[in-house]
Chain A
């Protein structure tokens, strides 16, 4: 059960490269590693809590109105996350902006609740939320890394702004005089980057 959740979430059913759900934030926010990581963590948090809070109450939810109720729970959770980030991590709130409230409309959250948590016990649902979220988080980080490296010639820049001054040394600058590869930062770079990532995943799958 645990093994299955890990393999499904991280590889076989990865939300970012296989299920291709919730692409809007995936494409929009991944201009740098730190942005990808931040939104990935926020989404993962929502997925874990949504899955593990809906699973125990699944028997009380009438079938006819399950989707509105799931959305209600998810929206409440996202609002809590939104308020907490705004209160405790102002720079993060600035960086992610509208994409935090938009987690509500991220299909992947509702999809996991509807297709997994509403049919399974709490612990497997928790694992499912955790590893699906982690899988998405990885994709966002890798895509953000690709775009940041090509677009700005850096990796991990801006970590200190969001996760505290102590991390200011983590930023790597690869080139001294790099004028930037604009395409990678602009939206087309997101599409191309994701396409390359999916191609890579498919290639590895085919080889096995």
Chain B
């Protein structure tokens, strides 16, 4: 009997100590979380807007861009697997540009995520690769921090660039590429072309009736 009490005393003590530590540290975490979370949300929204501002310029809109979007269901053109947001830039309540997120599933190593800013007439205002895993030093020239290659798409549209021209020069297309990393460029060109196709088919939904 004495042994039983002795054993249980140890168990009780360890349990008690663990509970005390758990309570103390979860309280600390709770406190830090409530302090940090609003700042995190704010800085994330700022980072997001900075990202969006890379593909359109600040002076063409005056609305709250982050909260002005349409939901885009998964589709074959943008290749999104979940619903994503298409941001709509408005100047005095008139749509001036849209920002679409498109994916190239056929990059050299995995998916490439690209933001495309398109004006109401279907011209590309800017494009940025926002996520990729292409080989460093080889395929990563699509990233604006490595080279300004991605800017060759600016002012392209379905009108001024014919269907067959939407390809890299190696495939008799219009767009330059870095030899040795053709697959990467091919995937990006394709994805951007598809985003324009998506825009053309869905521009009514985005409030553009030109």
Measuring CB to CB, which residues of chain A are less than 8 angstroms from any residue of chain B? Answer: 60-62, 64-65, 68-69, 72-73, 76, 79-80, 83-84, 86-88, 90, 94, 151, 179-180, 182, 185-186
Contact = CB atoms under 8 A, between A and B. Distances in A.
Contacts of B138: 182
Given A83-B36, A83-B37, 19 more contacts: A60-B17, A61-B17, A62-B13, A62-B14, A62-B17, A64-B10, A64-B14, A69-B21, A72-B25, A73-B25, A76-B25, A76-B29, A83-B32, A86-B36, A86-B43, A90-B43, A94-B47, A179-B137, A182-B135
Nearest to A68: B18
Contacts of A151: 136-137
Contacts of B10: 62, 64
A94 B36 CA distance: 17
Interface in B38-64: 39-40, 43-44, 46-47
Tell me whether chain B's interface is mostly helix, strand or loop, or mixed: helix
A182 B33 CA distance: 40
Q: Which label, helix, strand, loop or mixed, suits the secondary structure of the A interface?
A: helix
B22 interface: yes
Interface in B6-38: 10, 13-14, 17-18, 21-22, 25-26, 28-29, 32-33, 36-37
A52 B37 CA distance: 27
A87 B36 contact: yes
A180 B137 contact: yes
Interface in B106-157: 135-138
